[in-house]
Amino acid sequence: MSTQSESSSFSPRVLLSTSKATARVITEDQIEFVCEASAVIGLFRFLGGLCLGGALIQWTAALFSQKGSILFVTGSLLMILGLILLKLATWQKRGHGRFVLDRRTGQLSQFHGPTLVHQVPLSSIQKIFAVTDYGDGMRPDILPELPRWLVCHAQGTHELRLGKGSAKELEPTLKLLTAWQLPVRTEP
C-alpha cells in the first residue's frame, strides 16, 4: 500500500533548462535529456547541398566550355567539400538527440525524433562528465561561466552529448546521476 502512495506522490521535475538542452526526471527511475544540434546540422546540410549543386553546375558547364578541365576539377573539389560537410552533419547528429536514462531497464536510449537509434547498457558507461565548450568564447573574465557539455562515454560507442549549460546549471543533474551511482567524474 505504501508503494502506491509513494508512486502517486511522484511529480516530474526539471533538472536543466537552457536554450541548448533540457533534462528532466520523468519517473522515479527515468531522466529524459534533450540536446539537439539542429542549427549546426542544418548549416552543414545546407552548405553541403549548396556545394553539391555547385559541383553539378560546374560539371555541366564543363561539357559545353573550352575550359572544361578546369571546370571539371573545380566541380570535383566542390563535390568533395559537399560530401565532407554532409558527413560532418551526420557525425554531429550521431552524438545528439533525445536520451532516456532508465535505471529500471538499465539502459540509456537515444532517439532521433520518435525513432530509437541506439541503446547503451548503463553497466557499459565508463564516465559522465561536464567538459567546457571553448567554442562559445575565450574571454578569460567569463571562463568560469562558459557552457559545458554533459558528455557520456560508454564502451563501444561514440561520445553522447546529453546536455549543455553552465556548471551551476548542470549541478542538479550531476548530483542526481551521482546519487544513482553512475560514474560521474569532475574532470574528463
pLDDT in tens, 101-135: 999 999 999 888 788 888 999 999 999 988 877 66
20 pLDDT more than 80: no
| pLDDT value, residue 121 | 92
The burial of 148, by beta-carbon neighbours within 10 Å (0-12 exposed, 13-18 middle, 19 or more buried), is given as buried
In angstroms, rounded to a whole number, what is the distance separating the alpha carbons of residues 172 and 141?
A: 25
| pLDDT value, residue 164 | 86
CB 124 within 8 A of CB 156: yes
Grid cell at residue 6: 509513494
In the numeric block, the cell 553546375 is attached to 57
| pLDDT value, residue 5 | 44
Q: Which residues contact 92 (CB under 8 A, 6 or more apart)?
A: 37, 40, 41, 44
pLDDT in tens, 53-111: 999 999 999 888 888 888 889 999 999 999 998 888 776 666 678 899 999 999 999 88
In angstroms, rounded to a whole number, what is the distance separating the alpha carbons of residues 161 and 97?
A: 8
Question: What mean pLDDT value characterizes the chain?
Answer: 82
Distances, alpha carbon 112 to alpha carbons 8, 37, 160, in Å: 30, 11, 13
In angstroms, rounded to a whole number, what is the distance separating the alpha carbons of residues 8 and 154?
A: 33
